[in-house]
Amino acid sequence: MKRKFKQKFKQKKKDDLSQTKKKYSEFTTKCRFCRMRVDEIDYKDMQFLQKLVGNQGKLLSKKRSGNCATHQRSVKIALKRARYLALLPC
Ligand SMILES: [Zn+2]
C-alpha cells in the first residue's frame, strides 16, 4: 500500500513540473528590447539605462540582464554616451 501511494505522489509531481515548464517557455522571450521591438536604444532614456546598470554604475552582463547580443551592444554605446553627457555617474 505504501509503495503504491508513493508512486502516485511522484507521478503527480512530475506532471506538475512538466506543465509549469511548458507555460514558462511559452511566455518568455529573453530580450526585453526584442519584445518591445526597439531598434536603437536612446541614450536620453534614463528609465531603461538605470535598470541595466548595477549598484556601482557598471553595465550588467548579458547573462544577467537577458539581452540579446545586438541589443547588448547598443546598450553599451548608449551608456557610454550618457556617461559622456554626465547623465549617469562614471
Ligand atoms: Zn534583443
Position 59 scores a pLDDT of 92
Show the DSSP H helices in 28-68 as ranges.
32-36, 46-51, 62-65
CA–centroid distance, residue 1 to ligand 1 (Å)? 54
For the range 55-62, what are the long-range contacts, defined as Cβ-Cβ under 8 Å and sequence gap of 24 or more? 57/88, 57/89, 57/90
pLDDT mean for each 10 residues of the chain (90 residues) = 61 58 60 88 88 89 91 93 88
Give the chain's domains with CATH numbers.
2-84 (4.10.640.10)
Q: What is the 48 CA–ligand 1 centroid distance (Å)?
A: 14
Q: How far is the centre of ligand 1, averaged over its atoms, from the C-alpha of 76 (Å)?
A: 13
Strands (DSSP E) contained in the chain are: none
| Predicted pLDDT at 70 | 92
82 Cα: distance to centroid of ligand 1 (angstroms) = 20
> In the prediction, which pLDDT does 7 show?
64
85 CA distance to ligand 1 centroid (A)? 25
Ligand 1 centroid to residue 67 C-alpha, Å: 5
Residue 38 grid cell: 526597439
Q: What's the 9 CA to ligand 1 centre distance in angstroms?
A: 41
Q: How far apart are CA 18 and CA 37, in angstroms?
A: 30
